[in-house]
Amino acid sequence: MVTAILLTRSQRDFTERERGLLNRLHPHLERAFRNTASLNRLSRDVDALFELLESPTSSVIALSESGSVKRWAMQAKTWIAQYCRTPFPASGDRLPDCFAEWYQRQLALVARETLSPLPHEPLIVDKDGRQLTVQLISDHFHDEHLLLLNEKRGDASWSALGKHGLTPRESEVLAWVAKGKTNADVGVILGLSDRTVQKHLEHIYQKLGVETRTTATVRALKMLGIEPE
């Protein structure tokens, strides 16, 4: 690409001193022009990215390092309002606290990464039989990160444990335990304390007639007709 900058003056010609100053300014003006062109291209790329990722089951949010929202689709905003258990902020450029805390933790992990980025643990939120997964895509060189959102229907088969006496919440807890999650993991996913998760497990053990999380998982899988892996 060739960049040409033309300066004209109608009344009189430039003096030698002015020409010297302009020659010094020229590389800075050229850099400003190229930066503007790059930003325009980036804006078009972001538009294309949003258009590509938007679907009935997926959406995207662009955030700054501080967590302020630079851009998000209406679907993403609606999902976060539905899945978040805290009030939605009045400011339109800020995530609710429940999502912002996870985002800041992810950024802290990103800051400790080397040139070989590590896979990030997604945020998984369940509500009313549906599940929202939020994945951070970090940009190490620009003040912008992306959150990829995907919504899907939860594993409905575990709700069938209700006929064996388990409550919907106990079925949820056992479903995550069966996937290898610790009490702390389950607490984060379902918005519960470790103690509450343990209480649910104690009730599950009593109802299923078992003593450990492993035997509870095996018993539940057999009840659902699922072959243990």
Confidence of residue 116 (pLDDT cuts 50, 70, 90): very low
Comparing CA positions, the residue from 163, 134, 176 lying closest to residue 151 is 134
Q: For the segment 178-188, what is each residue's pLDDT rounded down to a tens digit? A: 878 888 888 88
Q: Which CATH number fits domain 156-224: 1.10.3720.10, 3.40.50.2300, 3.60.21.10, 1.10.10.10?
A: 1.10.10.10
More confident residue, 194 or 227: 194
At 225, list the tokens.
Answer: 């007709």
Confidence of residue 140 (pLDDT cuts 50, 70, 90): low
Looking at this protein, which amino acid is placed at residue 166?
A: L
Give the pLDDT confidence score for residue 115 in this predicted structure.
47
Q: What is the CATH number of domain 54-153?
A: 3.30.450
Give the pLDDT confidence score for residue 154 in this predicted structure.
57
Comparing CA positions, the residue from 97, 227, 101 lying closest to residue 217 is 227
At 149, list the tokens.
Answer: 């959102």
- Beta-carbon contacts of 131 under 8 Å, excluding residues fewer than 6 positions away, are 124, 125, 151, 152, 153, 154
Domain boundaries, the chain: 14-53, 54-153, 156-224
Q: Is 225 helix (H, G, I), strand (E, B) or coil?
A: coil
Over range 113-133, report the average pLDDT: 67
At 167, list the tokens.
Answer: 């409550």
Residue 168: pLDDT above 70? yes
Q: Is 120 helix (H, G, I), strand (E, B) or coil?
A: coil
Q: Is 117 helix (H, G, I), strand (E, B) or coil?
A: coil
Mean pLDDT taken over the chain: 77
Over range 162-167, report the average pLDDT: 85
At 218, list the tokens.
Answer: 């095996």
CB 54 within 8 A of CB 73: yes
More confident residue, 198 or 36: 198
